[in-house]
Structure 1
Amino acid sequence: MKLHQLQALVAIADCGSIRAAARTLAVSQTAVAKALRELESQLQLPLLVRNASGVMLTQYGRSLLLHARQMLGQLEQAQLELAHLRGQAEGQLRLGISPWMGMTLLPEVVLLFRQRMPQVRLEIFEGLMAVTLPRLREGTMEFAVGLVSALLPRPEFSSDPLFSYQMAVIARHGHPKQQCRSIHDLLDQDWVVNYPDANHQSFMNELFWQHDAHIAEERVQRAQSLQLMLSLMEHTDMVSYCPEPMLTVPMFQERITRLNLRESFATDTIGIVTPRNTQLGTAAQCFVDCLLQVVRRRSRSSKSEDRRLFDTLKVLV
């Protein structure tokens, strides 16, 4: 297998057609089609099914695609490492970040990283681990700063904890149920939450079932972004559930409040998550170092905004 053949396979999978893949790779359609024919011939397996709407990968093509992405990602990291050793570090670093961290610590970390590696372009994915784990698995993301839980596939991924924090039930300021003191008083309310579909059972147990609170499941709506969740809470009487550090973000602090319920909820942990048995590249390690520097400095800061944030966090590094 040759590099240009793997690049052609990945481009076709991403673009959905040979024509679009050729544009992405800046080569002719003939060159892309030839690369795939040669690859299929070498493997003696069909990798693509061609139809009127474009192309689809066969089961063999999908299996090879995972390895092709990993190999191309490792090659990109190697090129970045060599450029760094030459004093000419450039390239792209892709990483995932937990939403509340994107609104608190991330801006300062990015500024520090840009000072140290100005030629490296960042691609940052905000989202839950359900968004980042597939990218880590296929090698298109080097690491994620996200939730470390029992649901993290331990054989595939390793993690280094950074913080732990409490989860909280929240509502808009002035909500009719703002003075409630038990989750049982909120079972007649509509909820809007941000969590991946695969976590439904654990989420329902964490918030309701462990407290012997049984809510009609049609009352629990899912929003695929924090901004959607916030908008629905602000313009309706929906209640929600979020990490306590989120309540220190000005845009949240001004619009929502924590409900002081007698029940205790989950303690979650945020950490650096990487594919197991892989080593962070130079740029990724630099980013992590910048993150740790910002965390240590701000955790000792006397500024009111830093104190509010770190009062909700237990630093584990």
Structure 2
Amino acid sequence: MKLHQLQALIASAETGSIRAAARSLDMSQAAVTKALRELETEQQLPLFVRTPSGLNFTEYGKVLLTHARLVLKQLEHAQTELDHLRGKAQGRLCVGVTPWVALTFLPEVVLAFRARMPDIHLELFESLMAVAQPLLRDGSMDFAIGQLHPAQATPEFSCETLLDYQTSVLVRQGHPRQNAQSIHELLDQDWTLNYAPDGHDALMQELFWKHSAQIDEKRIIRAHSLAILQMMLERADMCTWGPTILSTASPFLGRLVSLNLTEQFEPRQLSIVTRRNGSLSNPALCFTDCLLQVIRRHARSAKKEDRQLFETLRLLV
């Protein structure tokens, strides 16, 4: 396999057609077609099929595409490392950030990172793990700052844990069940939850099943962004479960309430999540260092708002 063949494969997948791939690579259509045919011939496998709507990749093509993206990502890391050694740090860093961190520490982290590496193009995703996992898997995302259930940590991903955070059931201020004392009083309510594709059972176990609570799952809306989750809480009177800190972080302060239920939920861990056996580039290490410095500074602060934040957080590093 040659680099230009992998580039043609990725461009064809991302643009949906050979013509568009040729434009994006500044190559002729004939050159892209030749590169793809050579790749299929070498592997002796069908990688894609042409359809009126564009290219559809076979299972073989999808597997190769994932690895091709990882290869190009590692080459990008290598170039960034070499640029750093020659005193010219350039490149791109893609980071997934769990919403509550984005609402609290992230602005200071970004300012510190930009001061240290102003020539790195930074791309940030609101990284609920359902969004982050596929991007980490194919190399599109360098790392994520979030919570990964222990069952998902192997064999694909590894975690460096930064802190523990408390979780609770959350509703809007003024919700009819705001004074509920048990999860059993909320089983007739509608819920909005977020979980990764392989995280459904773990979430249901933690929130309902281990408390002998059975909920009709037709009552659950799966939300893939914080904005959707917020709208479902505030305008559709749904319940959710998540970091307690959301009830004290802007823009939710005074709008969300953390319920004081008799059921206790295990703390979750905020971690640096990476592909197992992957290596972080110098910009990635710089970003994580900035994050740790900002968190530690707030943990030592005597300000009222910082003390309030760390009522539900426990620093582990």
Identify the TM-score tier after normalising by the shorter chain: over 0.9
Higher mean C-alpha deviation, range 267-276 or range 49-58:
49-58
Confirm or deny: 8 A CA contact 2:70 2:139 kept in the other structure. yes
Structure 1 gap segments, 5+ residues each = none
Q: What percentage of aligned pairs have identical amino acids?
A: 55
Confirm or deny: 8 A CA contact 1:148 1:161 kept in the other structure. no
Alignment map for 1:147-296 (pairs within 5 Å): 147-296=147-296
CA distance in 1, matches of 2:235, 2:141: 36
The amino acid across from 1:302 in the alignment is A
The CA deviation string for residues 204-231 of structure 1, in whole angstroms up to 9 with x for no partner, is 2211121112222222222221211111
Cα distance, 1:197 vs. partner? 4.2
Cα distance, 1:270 vs. partner? 1.1
The amino acid across from 1:262 in the alignment is T
Are 2:26 and 1:26 equivalent residues in the alignment? yes
The CA deviation string for residues 178-197 of structure 1, in whole angstroms up to 9 with x for no partner, is 12211122222222222234
What root-mean-square deviation, in Å, do the aligned CA atoms of Structure 1 and Structure 2 show?
1.6
Structure 2 gap segments, 5+ residues each = none
Confirm or deny: 8 A CA contact 1:167 1:266 kept in the other structure. yes
Which structure 1 residue ranges, 4+ long, deviate > 6 Å from structure 2?
none
Higher mean C-alpha deviation, range 179-188 or range 9-18:
179-188
CA distance in 2, matches of 1:44, 1:186: 56
Alignment map for 1:6-25 (pairs within 5 Å): 6-25=6-25
Partner of 2:118, secondary structure, is: coil
CA distance in 1, matches of 2:107, 2:53: 42
Partner of 2:160, secondary structure, is: strand
TM-score by length of 2: 0.95
Cα distance, 1:156 vs. partner? 2.3
CA distance in 1, matches of 2:178, 2:51: 57
The CA deviation string for residues 49-108 of structure 1, in whole angstroms up to 9 with x for no partner, is 223222222333222212211110000000011111111111101121111111111111
Residue 110 of structure 1 is matched in structure 2 by 110
Confirm or deny: 8 A CA contact 1:81 1:281 kept in the other structure. yes
TM-score by length of 1: 0.95
CA distance in 1, matches of 2:180, 2:48: 58
CA distance in 2, matches of 1:167, 1:239: 13
CA distance in 1, matches of 2:194, 2:55: 34
Cα distance, 1:118 vs. partner? 0.6
Are 2:74 and 1:74 equivalent residues in the alignment? yes
The CA deviation string for residues 266-298 of structure 1, in whole angstroms up to 9 with x for no partner, is 211111111222321111111111111111111
Partner of 2:198, secondary structure, is: helix
Cα distance, 1:146 vs. partner? 1.3
